Structure 1
C-alpha cells in the first residue's frame, strides 16, 4: 500500500519588503554587468589559452594561465554577489557573455606561447579598461563596491605585468618604464 502525501493548504505569504539603505541605479547596474561579463569572458579565454598553448616556456605559461582563470572566476563571483547584495540581477549566460563582452575573440587553434602572452595580456587589459571606465560612477554611488573594483584592478594589472614581462625586451619595449 502506498501512502500519498497530501499537500497542505498553503497560505499566501505576507508581503515582504526590505528597506536597504543603498539600492543600485540602472547606470550602476549596467556598469557592474559590463565588468561581470568581461570577467567571465576572461575566465573562458584563459581556459581556452591554457588548453591550447604550445611552444617555448610552455609549462610556465600554462601554469600562469590558471592564475588568470582563478582570479577571473573569483572576481566574477564576487562582483555577481555584490550585484545581488544591492538588488541587481547578474546575467552570466553564455549568450549574454558573447553579445556583451569587450574582449576580442580568442583563437580556437593551438597558439604559440609568445602569442598567447600577447593575447592574454590584451584580454587582461581589456578587463582593466572596463574596470577603470566604470570606476568613477561606481565610486561616487557606492565606495564599498568601488573597493571590489580596486581589488580587481590591483590583481589583474599585476597579472598583466607579470605575463607581459615574458615578451618584453629590456629598455626597448613599449610602454617604457617611468624613471624618477
Structure 2
C-alpha cells in the first residue's frame, strides 16, 4: 500500500457539481438514495453469486448460467450507480462493511439451501430492490434529476425481467420429481 495519505474526498461528503445545475440539498438526497441502491444491489450480487456457486440438481446447468448472468447484471448496475454518485459529487459506498451496513435489504445467511429456497430468497431481495428503485425514481424526478431517474428506470426494467425469470424457475412444472424434492 502506498505511503501517501492525502484524502481527496471524505466518504459521506457531497460537493454538488455546478455544471449539473442541481442544488446542494437536492444532490445530497439523491446521493443518499443512490448509495442505498448501490448497497442493496451489492447484497443481491453476492447472494446471486453464492447461489451460482452452490446450485445443484437436474436443472443445474441452466440455473448456474442464469444466476451467473444475473450476478453480472447486478454488478453492472452497481457500477452504474457508483459512477452516477461520483458524477453528482458524492462518494460511492465501496467497503464491504459500509455496503452491508447501508443496505436496506436483508441478505441470506452463509448456509446453503435447496435451490427453490435460494431462488425464493432472491425473489424477496429483488422485490425490495424494485420497490426502492420505484421510490427513488419518484424522488429523483421530483428533485429535477431526470438523468438519475432514467438510469433507475432502465435498471428497474432489468430487475423486473430477472425476477420474472426466477418466477418461471419456481413454477411447479419441473424435471425434478415431487418425491425427489421432499
Task: Give your verdict on TM over 0.5.
Answer: yes
Q: Which residue of 2 aligns with 1:65?
A: 67
Q: Does 1:19 align with 2:39?
A: no
TM-score by length of 2: 0.77
Q: Which residue of 2 aligns with 1:116?
A: 118
Q: Which residue of 1 aligns with 2:95?
A: 93
| Contact 2:31–2:88 (8 Å) recurs in 1 | no
CA distance in 2, matches of 1:137, 1:149: 11
Indicate the SS of the match to 1:46.
helix
Q: CA deviation at 1:78?
A: 0.7
Structure 1 runs (4+) greater than 6 angstroms displaced: none
Indicate the SS of the match to 2:108.
coil
| Contact 2:130–2:159 (8 Å) recurs in 1 | yes
Q: Which residue of 1 aligns with 2:4?
A: none
Q: CA deviation at 1:169?
A: 4.6
Higher helix share: 2
Q: Which has the higher mean CA deviation after the structures are superposed, 111-120 or 73-82?
A: 111-120
CA distance in 1, matches of 2:119, 2:58: 12
| Contact 2:20–2:88 (8 Å) recurs in 1 | no
CA distance in 1, matches of 2:88, 2:132: 20
Q: Which residue of 2 aligns with 1:11?
A: none
Give a deviation string over 1:17-43, Cα, whole Å, max 9, x none: x73133452211111111111111111
Q: CA RMSD in A?
A: 1.7
Indicate the SS of the match to 1:54.
coil
Indicate the SS of the match to 1:163.
helix
CA distance in 1, matches of 2:127, 2:116: 17
Q: Which has the larger radius of gyration?
A: 1
Distance 1:20 1:26, change over 3 A: same
Structure 2 unaligned blocks of 5 or more? 1-16, 174-182
Indicate the SS of the match to 2:101.
helix
Distance 1:19 1:103, change over 3 A: closer
Question: Number of aligned pairs?
Answer: 153
